[in-house]
A and B are shown apart, each in its own frame.
Chain A
Amino acid sequence: MSDHPITPQVVAEHGLSPEEYERVLHAMGREPNLTELGIFSVMWSEHCSYKSSRIHLKKLPTTGPVVICGPGENAGVVDIGDGQAAIFKMESHNHPSYIEPYQGAATGVGGILRDVFTMGARPVANLNALRFGRPDHPKMRHLIAGVVHGIGGYGNCVGVPTVGGEVNFHAAYDGNILVNAMTVGVAETDKIFYSAASGVGNPIVYVGSKTGRDGIHGATMASADFTEESEEKRPTVQVGDPFTEKLLIEACLELMASDAIVAIQDMGAAGLTSSSVEMASKGGVGIELDMNAVPCRETGMTPYEMMLSESQERMLMVLKPGREAEAEAIFRKWELDFAVIGHVTDTGHMVLKFNGETVCDIPLAPLADDAPCYDRPWVRTAPPAPAGNIVPSDDIAADLVTLMGSPDVASRRWIWEQYDHMVGADTVQRPGGDAAVVRVHGTRKGLAVTTDCTPRYCYADPFEGGKQAIAETWRNLTAVGATPLAATDCMNFGNPQRPEIMGQFVGCIEGMAEACSALGYPIVSGNVSLYNETKNDDGSGSAILPTPAIGGVGLLADYEKSATIAFKAPGESVFIVGHSYRHLGQSLWLREVRGLDGRDAGPPPPVDLAAEKANGDFVRALIQDGIATAVHDIADGGAAVALAEMALAGRIGAEIVAVAEAGDPTALLFGEDQARYIVTTTDPAALAARAEAAGVSAIAIGATGGDALRFDLKATGQIAAVALDDLRTAHEAFFPRLMG
């Protein structure tokens, strides 16, 4: 290695600033060799070190009565009773998915699955939060098709149902799509596995696939802006093999049933480097690896390449001494590689040997302690002015059809029919509702899962947008009857070195923190993806909308006591729960019908967290007590879209009579005031009485029935009516027409 001098150019190529290189010299006490420099570069990359985000992430509440393990491990762990835990996390794979959508998305799914089964959980549900550019952008069809096929190709094969997610379209994602994948697993609370290595002399074991030259420096790529040359980085995108992942799941879970494992960690971003460094650092021990023992796919691989490879489907374990043969037999049965590649030491150093020589000797404490941590300059985003004089709708029915067929509302059936959302036979609420529900196998319990974020709100007002993203997941879990437990976050932003972008990040975090605290709904795991922006010809950057995608998990004590969005029968009463303030700012109606987007569309609807909690608790109790027959939260497109979705799902129309006693109905029907639900019931008196007792606003607005959605617009003396067939045609047409 000494024949490779560490010049300033080599340092820059490793994504380290001159100041950061000074820190490397300080940590090492000498000049590093190339392998050591490579290890510092990935460990100190934004992706692995969270150097720009760490000081702000600390503001998030991460503890609570159900939290068994918060952020810092491979995934978050929450108690779901009866000695069982739900383990989950969401993670981004944005940069690779833009460069190579199929493999980028597929390996995103593979990576998040490993984060979850590493901890001892059998994965039971996958979700994905996707953001694409304009549907008519010349690259977008290729990207959408690739991402959806990639997610399906991986998830279907490993046999974990893909049950939910979300998709948005906006020009701000034209050059930087977002692919955020979430996995939820279930484990026994006394069989949860952590990553801290311990026991001097204990064997370090490598299992899974062989190491190849793929994905070298992926973490560094994910920590830089996109440029024209980014497509040349295609070789840094890894290739996934879901078949091997399936074998790895089964083999790991089989070994985990014994007590042979001391610690286990998947090899994700920065592969063998981050897994070995993290295991040793967390355990406060040293580690020595024999690089000649690493199973390699190609000949002639150097330690530098082995340490930085991001080959997929690999895990690192520390075993109890003498348990190697038993473990090896299991991995051989599943036709996977198994190799003892080193042992735990008491030196506090990571030492790599290759051909009998020491090729790397890094003190681990300084690698962690000297890691850069930035308080980057940031400016708070000023809330936008109200959106001027809004001309009311002149055709409620036509506007509703427009919204139902618009990219952000249209049916996602084209996507989720390509995902096996039923494997496991425990999916009891399939995609298309507010949250999916998956049974905890062999019990009456159900896990409700959802992902949400409204980036246009976050762009207009990061603080309110951050609050709203948390509140919407909480509301969606509530709408199926679940008690929200905890959330995971996937923070997607632009270049943190721009103060306005950093201000978006800080605003969103602070809003999320406030909502999490108010709702008693902590963040237990997460991921930060920065530099989601593309350099323009003039050197400026085009950033994505701030997108803190939130994944929420809730618990149903009895999955039979759950609600769906579908109207159940004609003649049932329809209520709006929660107060309608007629806030039209940032509504989808304003964007799709009036063409107002961005800060021109005014402030987003404020989130009253006390009302959110009260209204949600009220609705959940209605479901548990069998008073609600159908429930849907009111979100994009307002009450009108919520009603239309309920009607389509149930194939039953509704007559909405009490639309507007006075004034224009536009804001009532299309405004996106928060903390609201549509609820149907066969017992309107009971619902009203309970609402009054709880101090919650619940207004009867009509009844189900017929084959159309009819709005009696009292103020204008008109009736707006849309046949369900017309709504369905508009709703179902978008994706098939786009993707052909």
Chain B
Amino acid sequence: MRSAVIVFPGSNCDRDLAVAIRDVTGREPAMVWHRETELPADIGLIALPGGFSYGDYLRSGAMAARSPIMRAIADAAGRGVPVLGICNGFQVLTEAGLLPGALMRNAGLSFVCRDVSLTVETSQSIFTNRYSAGEGIRIPVAHHDGNYQADAATLDRLEGEGRVAFRYAEEVNGSARSIAGVINETGNVLGMMPHPERLMETAQGGTDGRRLFEGLLEAVA
């Protein structure tokens, strides 16, 4: 099975994400330019990286969500292919309607880059099966628009269906119910603001991010 990292104009964590996937899978992911209309035939994991696609102009992720490759991603997601969106990738997934809610400007109105404490809300997903539910982990954030918002009914539903993957255990950006990452209805699409690809080895300050990729490997192998 192949992994693919989608590259939009302005993506800047595409290499970091590719390195993380390669480290864990032992295989280079395909770097897929946003103008492409097809994914590799044996696609097993689609990853949307962080960055500033289209400079965050209009709204974060709004223009990238209309890129040609997004149709192929939506089709693959519909077939159950795992899709991981990190930071700007999460913003793109909400703008594309593959995940509910929206990511607004941080409540503090400033960009925030630091390690934050997260609680893993569920281990019953392909993305979080290497963590335990309720476990506390630390993963860095780096965003200006990470304030997750959705209407109360949607939030209730996300919580009720165990689709909140991670919650902030400290105040970070004003997100509704401290939500840091959510999963789609069918359990194969995760969007999250924190950057697990930045904590893969001790030299980077910790390995709490690595288990997310290890869990996925098991799921897609």
Contacts and interface: CB of A to CB of B under 8 A. Distances in A.
A244 B197 CA distance: 25
Interface string A130-164: 00000000000000000001001100111100000
Best-buried of B15, B110, B113, B140 by chain A (most CB within 10 Å)? B113
A418 B112 contact: yes
A420 B51 contact: no
A374 interface: no
Contact of B198 (A153, A334, A422): A422
Interface stretch (A60-68, A85-93, A379-387, A424-432): A424-432
A335 B9 CA distance: 9
Contacts of B57: 243
Interface string B42-84: 0000000011101111000000000000000000000000000
Interface stretch (B129-137, B160-168, B181-189, B200-208): B200-208
A417 B114 contact: yes
Contacts of A158: 12
Given A242-B52, A417-B112, A418-B110, A428 B12 contact: no
A246 interface: yes
A422 B113 contact: yes
B54 A152 contact: no
Contacts of B55: 157, 241-244, 246
B93 interface: no
A423 B16 contact: yes
Nearest to A424: B16
B169 interface: no
A425 B200 contact: yes
B51 A159 contact: yes
Contact of A439 (B15, B112, B114, B203): B203
Contact of A560 (B10, B15, B50, B203): B203
B199 to A, nearest CB: 9
B19 interface: yes
A419 interface: yes
Contacts of A560: 203
Given A157-B56, A425-B16, A420 B204 contact: no
Contacts of B204: 422, 425, 427-428
Given A157-B52, A159-B12, A417 B198 contact: no
Interface in A222-270: 241-244, 246-247
B113 A419 contact: yes
A493 interface: no
Contacts of A439: 203
A417 B143 CA distance: 10
Contacts of B205: 430
B113 A247 contact: no
Given A158-B12, A422-B142, A246 B111 contact: no
The interface residues of chain B, by DSSP majority, are classed as mixed
Given A242-B52, A243-B57, A418 B113 contact: yes
A152 B54 CA distance: 17
A335 B56 CA distance: 16
B13 A423 contact: yes
Best-buried of B15, B51, B111, B197 by chain A (most CB within 10 Å)? B111
A158 B20 CA distance: 20
Nearest to A245: B55
A463 interface: no
A419 B111 CA distance: 7
B111 A152 contact: yes
B138 interface: no
B111 A559 contact: no
B105 interface: no
A422 B195 CA distance: 10
A599 interface: no
A421 interface: yes
A403 to B, nearest CB: 25
Nearest to B9: A247
B203 A559 contact: yes
Contact of A420 (B15, B20, B111, B200): B111
Interface residues of B, number: 31
A420 B10 CA distance: 15
Given A159-B13, A243-B57, A247-B10, A420 B113 contact: yes
Contacts of A425: 13, 16, 19-20, 197-198, 200, 204
Contacts of B198: 422, 425
Given A423-B142, A424-B16, A428-B204, A246 B52 contact: yes
Interface in A299-329: none
A422 B10 contact: no
A419 B141 CA distance: 11
Interface in B106-136: 110-114
A482 B59 CA distance: 42
Contacts of A241: 55
A560 B201 CA distance: 12
Interface string A442-473: 00000000000000000000000000000000
Contacts of B9: 243, 246-247, 334-335
Best-buried of B50, B52, B54, B56 by chain A (most CB within 10 Å)? B52
Nearest to B197: A425
Interface in A539-559: 559
A156 B13 contact: no
Best-buried of A158, A416, A559 by chain B (most CB within 10 Å)? A158
Nearest to A562: B203
Nearest to A157: B52
Contacts of A427: 204
Contact of A149 (B10, B56, B110, B114): B110
Nearest to A413: B114
Interface string A672-700: 00000000000000000000000000000
A420 B143 CA distance: 8
B200 A156 contact: no
Nearest to A421: B113
Nearest to B55: A243
A149 B144 CA distance: 11
A278 to B, nearest CB: 30
B198 to A, nearest CB: 5
Interface in B185-221: 195, 197-198, 200, 203-205
A439 B144 CA distance: 26
Contacts of B56: 157, 243
Nearest to B109: A149
Nearest to B142: A420
A500 to B, nearest CB: 41
Contacts of B51: 159
Given A243-B57, A246-B10, A425-B16, A156 B110 contact: no
A243 B205 CA distance: 29
A423 B16 CA distance: 8
A559 B50 CA distance: 26
A421 B12 CA distance: 13
A423 B140 CA distance: 10
Contacts of A420: 111, 113, 142
30 contacts: A149-B110, A152-B110, A153-B111, A156-B111, A156-B144, A157-B52, A157-B55, A158-B12, A159-B12, A159-B13, A243-B9, A243-B10, A243-B55, A246-B9, A246-B52, A333-B33, A417-B112, A417-B113, A417-B114, A418-B111, A420-B111, A420-B113, A423-B142, A424-B16, A425-B19, A425-B197, A425-B200, A425-B204, A428-B203, A439-B203
Interface of B: 9-10, 12-13, 15-16, 19-20, 33, 50-52, 54-57, 110-114, 140, 142, 144, 195, 197-198, 200, 203-205
Q: Which 9 A-B pairs have the closest CB atoms?
A: A159-B12, A243-B55, A425-B16, A157-B52, A420-B142, A428-B203, A420-B113, A418-B111, A417-B114
Given A423-B12, A425-B13, 11 more contacts: A156-B111, A156-B142, A243-B52, A244-B55, A417-B114, A421-B113, A422-B142, A422-B204, A423-B50, A425-B19, A425-B198
Interface of A: 149, 152-153, 156-159, 241-244, 246-247, 333-335, 416-425, 427-428, 430, 439, 559-560
